[in-house]
Amino acid sequence: MNGILPPFLLERMAESPNPQTRRWAMENLAASAAVRSERRVLSTLPQMAAIPSPTGRKHRLIYDALNKPTHALPGKLVRREGEKGPNGPGSNDPAVSEAYDYSGATYDFYWEQFERNSLDDRGMSLISSVHVGKQYANAFWNGEQMAYGDGDGRTFVRFTKALDVVAHELSHGVVTHTANLEYQDEPGALNEHFADVMGILVKQWHRGQTVKQADWLIGNDILVKTPTRRALRSFAAPGTAYTNDPDIGSDPQPAHMRDKYDGEDDYGGVHINSGIPNHAFYLAAMKMGGQAWKKAGRIWYRALVGLTPRSSFKIAAQTTAEKAAALYGPRSSEAIAVKQAWSSVGVPLK
């Protein structure tokens, strides 16, 4: 399943010393297995899953799943596009407001920065369900809509709380409608990578941050922080987001090809090896300076649109270098920054 929490993290939670954490980690794993089969079908037919907006522009629908399991989605409609204020349904519920505001911010980012009209570029409705499952600790895009759990409050809080998480999951929809990268091995790690890049860019854009002001962390706002955990992933230092944590273990992400994971878990390490291109993006953006979505983000978005389902890290590196050269010139500092960034993570280009 394309949840924000990777399977290895849920499996590790099932070994937590805390019996309550163990119990609901098991429930989460069972729920994830049910969603996974549905998603596989939808990713092969992305157009069929898209529900058009009646206006052809930003159109959000928020549902309350009333703590029912994932197969009961979407639930009860509690807020439509344009409804707001103290009289708007669901307005006292922070999960409803966050799902509405953050899916809107994600739409606005794609439209204002890349002139992309929703996930499919044809104005598809952004549908979200909140309060999915009982203390369900995950958020996912099922090919048709977003779903957010409330978390257990001990390890994770409600999953709508983090804009980067919302934008990451919605960006899986953008990936499906563009490169449609296979969710396995290097193409799968690129699928996760582009969702992370767009997730972090929407957050930085929403906060008006420069590359130096940004935290470059994914998921820090959904985690109950302790000295052993601060986020789910780090662009600046992959592999350091959590360390020897009793509930979630240690961050397995590499930052360089020499440490690439070659096993079969996590669809060939899609949430693990994404650390390598993530770090390349970070290095390129830092080198370019300013606000990351303006140059590095534009280059990466154009690359995403140009990739294909089986693109490798090498192809992604070449494509970003080509897009940088096309936008800024082959000898521009931007084009050089992109090449140097990939070379620094062990993907050298000519």
Active site residues: 169, 271
For residue 304, give the nearest of 148, 153, 121, 160 by alpha carbon. Answer: 121
- State the residue number with the nearest CB to Zn ion: 195
Q: Which is nearer to Zn ion, 81 or 221 (CB)?
A: 221
Shortest gap between Cβ of 174 and Zn ion (angstroms)?
12
Q: Which is nearer to Zn ion, 120 or 192 (CB)?
A: 192
Instruction: Using CB under 5 A, count the residues that bind Zn ion.
Output: 2
Tokens 């920054």, located at residue: 337
181 binds Zn ion (CB under 5 A): no
124 binds Zn ion (CB under 5 A): no
Q: Is the peptide bond before 277 cis (omega within 30 degrees of 0)?
A: no
- Cα separation, 140 vs 146, whole angstroms: 6
For residue 8, give the nearest of 327, 346, 302, 269 by alpha carbon. Answer: 269
For residue 43, give the nearest of 179, 190, 142 by alpha carbon. Answer: 142
146 binds Zn ion (CB under 5 A): no
Q: Is 251 within 8 Å of 233 (Cβ atoms)?
A: yes
Piece of the chain touching Zn ion by CB under 5 A; list 39-47, 69-77, 158-166, 184-192: 184-192
Shortest gap between Cβ of 231 and Zn ion (angstroms)?
14
165 binds Zn ion (CB under 5 A): no
For residue 131, give the nearest of 89, 91, 92, 96 by alpha carbon. Answer: 96
For residue 188, give the nearest of 279, 306, 277 by alpha carbon. Answer: 277
307 binds Zn ion (CB under 5 A): no
Tokens 């789910």, located at residue: 232
Shortest gap between Cβ of 196 and Zn ion (angstroms)?
7
Shortest gap between Cβ of 170 and Zn ion (angstroms)?
10
Shortest gap between Cβ of 195 and Zn ion (angstroms)?
5
Q: Which is nearer to Zn ion, 59 or 193 (CB)?
A: 193
Q: Which is nearer to Zn ion, 174 or 324 (CB)?
A: 174
188-207 residues near Zn ion, rule: CB under 5 A: 192, 195
For residue 79, give the nearest of 106, 57, 98, 55 by alpha carbon. Answer: 98
Instruction: Give the SS3 label for residue 259.
Output: helix
Q: Which is nearer to Zn ion, 8 or 246 (CB)?
A: 8
Residues interacting with Zn ion, by CB under 5 A?
Answer: 192, 195
